Amino acid sequence: MLISTFNINGVKARLDALLAWLEAASPDIACLQEIKSQDEAFPRGPIEALGYHVETHGQKGFNGVALLSRTPPVEVLRGLPGDDQDDHSRYIEGVWQVGPRRLRVASIYLPNGNPVGTEKFSYKLAWMERLIRHAEALLATEDDLVLAGDYNVIPMPLDAANPQAWLGDALFQPESRAALRRLVNLGLADALRASTDAAKTYTFWDYQAGAWQKNAGIRIDHLLVSPEVQDRLVSVGIDKHVRGWEKPSDHVPVTIEIAA
C-alpha cells in the first residue's frame, strides 16, 4: 500500500500537476495540504475520474486539507480535537478497514508560526500540544497509524541546506523542534529517517532566491508512523522531480510503501 503526503499550495492552481502526479504515482491514499478551497469548490470531478474518493476539510483562500483514497474511509474526523474556538482547517483523519486491520491516516497542515514572538508562534506551539495529546489517544487504539503532512518543522540541522539561515524562523526554533520530538517519542517513527540518514534530503524549496536551482531546500513534510506500520515499512520516496514541473508547488510529495 502506498500512502503519500503533498502540500499542493492551491489545488485549483496546481490541478494539472496534481492529476499528473496521481496518474504517475498512483498512491492508495494521498494526504493533501493547503488546498485553499472551500469544500463545495474543491475540483473533485477530475480526481474522482482517476478512481479516487475525496474527503475535504476546506477553508476559503487558505489552509485546507484533504484525503484522496482508492476506497472510501469508514470514519472521518474533521478538525483537531482540543479547541472548539479554532476555526482553521488544518486536520482531517480517516479510518480504513484493510482486511482484519484498521488503518488510520491523518492529513496535517501544522501552523507556520512566524513571526516568532507573536501570537502566531504561540498558536503553533499550542496546536502541537493538542496534536501530541490526540496522537497519544490514537496510539492507545493500536490501529495502524500514519500522521502525514506539512509539519512546518525542520527536525535537525541535517534537514536544511543552510541551517544558519533558519535560526530566527519558527520552523527551526528549539520549542518547535522539541515539540516534534515529544510527538515522535510517544512511540512514532519518522518514516524517512527510519529508512535513511542521507543529507540533502528535502521536501520544500522556496520560490525565492533560486532555492530550487541551488538545491537550497528543507525537509518539513513528514510521515510519522506507529510501530505497527513501521514493522511493515517497505520504502520511503520523495518525488523531487515534481518541483521542476510547470507551475509547481513549493513542496513535493513524500510516499511510504507498507506491506499488507
CA-CA distance, 239 to 232, in Å (whole number)? 21
CA-CA distance, 144 to 172, in Å (whole number)? 29
Buried-exposed string 203-240: b where 16+ CB fall within 10 A, e elsewhere: bbbeeeeebbeeebbbbbbbbbbbebbbeebeebebbb
- Do the Cβ atoms of 105 and 3 come closer than 8 Å? yes
Residue 242 makes CB contacts below 8 A (sequence gap 6+) with 17, 21, 248, 249, 252, 253
Lookup result for grid cell 483562500: 61
Query: Half-sphere exposure of 108 toward its Cβ, with a 13 Å CA cutoff?
Result: 29
- How many residues would you count in the chain? 260
* Angle at alpha carbon of residue 175, lines to 145 and 236, rounded to 5°: 35
Q: Provide the Cα torsion 157, 32, 63, 243; round to 10°.
A: 60
Pairing assessment for the beta strands 101-109 and 144-150 based on DSSP bridges: parallel
Where in the sequence numbering do the catalytic residues fall?
109, 150
